[in-house]
Amino acid sequence: MFEYDGGMSDGRVAAAHDRLVEAVEGLRAATAGAGDSEQISVLIAAEAARRRLDHLSVATLATVERRDVFTSRGYKSAAGALADLLGWEHFEARRHVLAADNVVGRTALDGTVLPARLPATAEVFDAGRTSLRHVEVVAKVLGSRPAERLAPEVWAAAETELAAKATEYTPAELQVWGTELVDKLDQDGPAPDDRPEPEINELRLVRHRNRAGGKITGRFDDAAMFDAIATVIDAKSKPASADETREPAQRQAEALAEVCGFALEHGPSTLVPQTGGRRPQISVIIPLEDLENRARAAMLDFGGRTSPETLRMLACDAAVIPIVLNGEGQPLDVGRATRTIPDGLRRAVTARDRGCAHPGCDRPPSWCELHHILGWEELGETKLENLVMLCKRHHHLIHHPGWLVRIRDGLPEFLPPAWIDPDRRPRRQPGTIIDLPTPRHECVPGPELDRPPGVRIADLDDLFGVPAP
């Protein structure tokens, strides 16, 4: 994704970069035929160079943030801009942002230069005696609740001790040692608080990144809320018979899914409001070849690829909306040319994009909006080839000058601004659509729905028990 191009920089930066490359190649050449001691020396030199480069990146980032370089280009955070510019993971970008906030001197409104928030850590980091990961650990330890309760002079002394240990310990060791140090210094602990602890009611849904399904975790301090949930699950998770082999946890999980499925099927609009512009429904995306083979597999909005058994169960128990894909994995256009996006067309875009289509974003469809690639005011049509699914953050970004989106080969791709990539090479989500084999039939356009010879629209009714489109 990232490739340095000296053409985007002035002559001094390009010349310095050339010298850096030359020095690295010199180290590489030194390893040829080198003995064990020389090989070790190269490893040490490479780490020393990496630390110096990290310091340069952090210092430059602090300057960029002071000048609002990224916000003026539509980014709400430097981390998001760094991810697009340099191809970093967000945690890596946040690590650099955290370091820039803590080990680089600041400038007051009146122009006065202020010392870094972590001056002792800044000193050892500047000297190359500690790594960027060490800086992150020191910042997080001294940003904890116990550290915030320390007197200023005690906090400063702790920072000096942490900076010294950062040159001796690994980041993990420094984390343990620093946490213990702060806990000992915070002898009085938090101030007494006679107020009752605040109630926490939370539920987290996290999709598995590389496989189907996901994880649900929750906490309910509200007794009534917990009782309502527990009562329903308990009633639906009782052993089916004396020969029941499922563990209680499995029965409870399946009971929750059954209750939610029933709500999707029968719940009124007051109980199940619209999400992402439509009422929640289970959309089963059927590859064309699988339709010809009696739907052996499918893909769900959240859960990923289903098994044949799960698909058959959904077809019987839920409001299944079949979305047929052509041989190249592209959903058939079921919409109409209006500014208001109809429900069928929204489902088609969801089937194609699977959530926010911007590279690297994992927001699900229910968190996304549909964007007209060619704006309605510019005579852009409301059809599949002119729509892309974006989360709010990337929808805002795409309306800022720089990023462009287009549909190519039936799938959305994004052209970054020249300041990110001078060549503006297109980017896509990895695995945007289901990886499908080449179909046995060519698609023949019909009056309402593209379909291959030999597959009748009535087959949808046969498979799912729902009226055909």
**147-159 tens-digit pLDDT:** 998 999 999 999 9
Residue 48 is predicted with a pLDDT of: 92
Hey, where are the domains in the chain? 33-185, 201-266, 282-329+437-464, 343-415
Whether residue 253 is predicted with pLDDT greater than 80 in this model: the reply is yes
Fold annotation for 343-415 = DNA Binding (I), subunit A (1.10.30)
- pLDDT at residue 271, rounded to an integer: 67
> Model confidence at 125, in pLDDT bands (50, 70, 90)?
very high
pLDDT over 70 percentage in the chain:
69
Span 209-250, pLDDT tens digits: 777 788 898 888 877 888 888 888 888 887 766 777 778 888
**Residues 257-270: pLDDT tens digits?**
878 877 776 667 66
Per-residue pLDDT tens for 297-351? 566 655 566 665 555 445 443 444 555 555 555 554 433 344 567 777 888 888 8
For 412-431, the pLDDT digits (tens) are 999 998 888 888 889 988 76
Q: In the predicted model, is pLDDT for residue 1 greater than 90?
A: no
Q: Say whether pLDDT at 123 is over 50.
A: yes
pLDDT over 80 (residue 111): no
Question: Band of the pLDDT at 177, cuts 50, 70, 90?
Answer: very high
CA atoms within 13 A on the CB side of 48: 9
* Most confident of the following: 266-280, 324-338, 351-365: 351-365
pLDDT at 453 over 60: no
Cβ neighbours, 10 Å, residue 150: 16
**Would you state the pLDDT for residue 279?**
47
pLDDT of 164 over the 90 cut: yes
pLDDT (mean) for 108-134? 88
Q: Which residue has the higher pLDDT, 444 or 113?
A: 113
Angstrom distances, CA of residue 333 to CA of 246, 297, 387, 413, 431: 43, 21, 11, 19, 21
pLDDT over 80 at 293, yes or no = no
